[in-house]
Amino acid sequence: MGFTVVNKIHTAKTEYDKKTLKMPPNSNNAEFYAILLSKYRPKVIETEAENKAAISIAEELEHKRLRTPEEDVLLELLVTLIEKFEEEYYPLPKHESHSMLLHLMEAQNIKEEDLVGIIGSHGDVSEIVNGKRNIGKEQAKALGEFFHVSPELLT
């Protein structure tokens, strides 16, 4: 998807710079959001190609330095659509949650002791990290917040 060749979008009384999609002063937020929606055309993702396109757009928005509130809403919508598609088409086997935890810990240089108090005592953390105990729903939620990921990745 991405940006089109057209440089300007003209609406009733407002002109938007399509390259940066900056909203001019005194313009209507709903109108600007409608412009974003017409540009990206988010919809329920049904194929791998649509998923890749949505990921590309989400990454573009995510790396944008100064997002508008409307772009934040669009990014949240795209992430929700991507997560829904991936949960449905790529469900993780239950043992994958343990691997995901280990991966997140390694990627962020987190040690077992860093998780004490977040998901339980030293004993609880040790059993979970060593795969002797499954990650509970509340623990997955706490870990999701700690690692800034969806708790579903850890259940």
Helix 48-62 to helix 69-89 angle (10° resolution) is: 150
Closest to 138 in 3D by CA, of 116, 122, 120? 120
- What does 51-91 look like in DSSP terms, one character per residue? HHHHHHHHHHHHT-SS--HHHHHHHHHHHHHHHHHHHHHSP
- Strands 15-17 and 8-10, how do they pair? antiparallel
Has this prediction a pTM greater than 0.85? no
In the chain, DSSP assigns E strands to: 8-10, 15-17
Neighbours of 139 (CB within 10 A): 22
Tens of pLDDT, residue by residue over 7-41, are: 233 333 334 444 444 555 555 677 777 877 877 78
Tens of pLDDT, residue by residue over 79-109, are: 999 989 988 887 655 567 888 999 999 999 9
Tens of pLDDT, residue by residue over 109-129, are: 999 999 999 998 999 899 899
